[in-house]
Amino acid sequence: MKKNTIIKDHRAIKPLLAALILEVISLLIFINQPTVVSNAAGESLAYPYTQIFTISAYYSPLEGQGHYVTGTYDGDIRLNGNGTNGADGTPVYPGMVAAPSIYEFETKMYIPGIGIVAVHDRGGAIVSGDAEEGTYDRLDIWMGYGDIGLERALNWGVRDVEVTIYGIDDTIEEEIYLEGYSDAEKFVKTVVITPDLFSEDLWYGDNGDDIKRLQEYLAILGYYNSKITGYYDDTTMSAVFNFQVDRGILDDWEDLGAGHFGINTRFAMDKSMEGVDVEAELTEVNLLNEGLALMQTYPDLYEEIHYFTDYIERGDRGEDVYALQTELNNLGYLMLEPTGYYGEMTEHAIFKLQQRWGLVETMDDPGAGALGPNTRIILNEVIGARIDTKSYMALKREDDSTQ
pLDDT tens for each residue of 327-371:
999 899 999 899 999 999 999 999 999 999 999 999 999 899 999
Residue 274 lies in a domain: no
The residue type at 348: H
Q: How far is CA 350 from the centre of its chain?
A: 23
Our CA angle for 249, 254, 258, nearest 5°, is 40
pLDDT of residue 8: 46
Q: Using one digit for the tens of pLDDT, what is the confidence trace for 24-35?
A: 555 444 444 555
The residue type at 144: G
Percent of the chain whose pLDDT exceeds 90 = 36
pLDDT of residue 117: 92
Q: Provide the domain count of the chain.
A: 1
Residue 269 lies in a domain: no
Q: Is the model's pLDDT at 19 over the cut of 60?
A: no
* Domain of residue 132, residue span: 44-185
Q: Using one digit for the tens of pLDDT, what is the confidence trace for 271-286?
A: 999 999 999 988 888 8
Distances (CA, A) of 363 to 52, 132, 298, 349: 27, 12, 41, 12
Tell me which DSSP letter residue 297 carries.
Answer: T
Element (H, E) at 243: helix 234-246
Among 325, 361, 359, 356, which residue's Cα sits nearest to residue 340?
A: 325
The residue type at 97: V
> What CATH number corresponds to the domain at position 158?
2.40.40
Q: Whole-prediction pTM value?
A: 0.59
Residue 97 lies in a domain: yes
Residue 85 lies in a domain: yes
Residue 117 lies in a domain: yes
pLDDT mean across residues, the chain: 82
Among 116, 146, 150, 100, which residue's Cα sits nearest to residue 48?
A: 116
Residue 134 lies in a domain: yes
pLDDT of residue 398: 84
pLDDT of residue 120: 93
The residues facing 110 across adjacent strands are 116, 164
Q: Using one digit for the tens of pLDDT, what is the confidence trace for 141-158?
A: 988 888 888 888 888 888
Residue 13 lies in a domain: no
Q: How many CB atoms lie within 10 A of CB 394?
A: 21
Mean pLDDT of 159-169: 92
Beta strand segments in 308-368, E: none
Q: Using one digit for the tens of pLDDT, what is the confidence trace for 121-138?
A: 988 778 888 877 778 999
